[in-house]
Amino acid sequence: MLGGANERVVLFASVLFSTLSLGSNLWGGMATEKKRAELALELEHQKERQKQLAELYAVTARYRGPLLESVIDLEQALWHLLTSAGRHPGGGEEPEDEGSAGQVPWAADEPESDMCYLLFTLAQFLGFLEVLRREGPRERAFLQGTNPHGSGTLSTLVEGIRFVLCASQSSLQRWYLEGRDRPHPGCRSRGTREEVVRECVARRHGTATAQRPQQQAPASPDAFRCSRGVQRAIGSFMISTPIGAQRHYTMSYGDFHARMEADPVFRRWFRQLEADADELGRGPGWAGQAPFPAGRWTRILLLQQLSIELIDLLDPDWCGPAYCLMIRAVWC
């Protein structure tokens, strides 16, 4: 009897040991497979990051320079409008001090007019923004917030410029009245659903909401306003891609000027911008006033400031030859 009991104990111990060994091996195998899967996933992520960086470098090599040059041209045209408007012979003002004597007067009646060039610089900039939009996956890498070039701020600045171009003066004033803690114009939020519904209901009944600061709409017209749809259309018109080219280009100033003269359908897209630019150039000039309260020069001042911010981002080392001439007209 004792011998049979010992045999059963030995058998039970053997089975238990085998079970534990099998479980241990199974657990070890599962842990190894999990580790192998994690390593494979990390390897895939690294490959994806390398691919993303390659796309980023490719689009950067093609378009960072042209985009930088286009925004430099735009900023210089805006600065010229700010500092030269009101001294056109038809405007009745002449330079009186040495600081303004070096500026070329606004000359909208000349063949190569300042007004036409201002429109061209805006259209050229919108053209390169449209190019980036069309670049597909490379556009996502170029504007992705986690890439090493800080281009998450680029998308913020681009949206800020689009917002300033399309917003009414009352919307710009409402954004300004949010105070010092207001978001950058390129990263605004719509607010909660309740706030949006409350504001829509209040607007329908002609009353003001208490949640957002309100002010009577400015009396000045919405000068140089351009809707998002018109921005996209102008950008599309400006793209020029020769057959066999490795990148997109935009229309030259000579071709733009000729098309403005010869193509009434093309010129119709710029009709309001052209009228506003002509009125700004011939009317009372900028006298150093701040952009807010919203008025005649609000949009131009904000665009000039955002343009310099974009230049700072695209070329933080300030390698361009014209940068020493660039100053912000205002800070807000």
Q: Is the pLDDT of residue 34 over 90?
A: no
**What CA–CA distance (Å, rounded) separates 23 from 1?**
33
Per-residue pLDDT, averaged over 293-320, amounts to: 86
The winner for highest mean pLDDT among 3-7, 140-144, 185-189 is 185-189
Output the pLDDT for position 127: 96
pTM of the model: 0.71
**Is 327 or 25 the better-scoring residue by pLDDT?**
25
User: For 88-124, what is each residue's pLDDT tens digit?
Assistant: 444 444 444 434 443 444 554 453 478 899 999 999 9
**What CA–CA distance (Å, rounded) separates 37 from 39?**
5
- How far, in whole angstroms, is CA 77 from its chain's centroid? 19
Q: Is the pLDDT of residue 289 over 80?
A: yes
Output the pLDDT for position 55: 65
**Is 216 or 39 the better-scoring residue by pLDDT?**
39
**What CA–CA distance (Å, rounded) separates 19 from 281?**
91
Output the pLDDT for position 5: 63
Output the pLDDT for position 180: 85
Residue 80: closest CA among 120, 117, 112, 109: 117
Confidence of residue 328 (pLDDT cuts 50, 70, 90): low
Cα angle 245-249-254, degrees, rounded to a multiple of 5? 125
Q: Is the pLDDT of residue 205 over 60?
A: yes
**Is 25 or 285 the better-scoring residue by pLDDT?**
285
**What CA–CA distance (Å, rounded) separates 307 from 313?**
10
C-beta atoms surrounding 258 within 10 Å: 12
**Is 318 or 316 the better-scoring residue by pLDDT?**
316
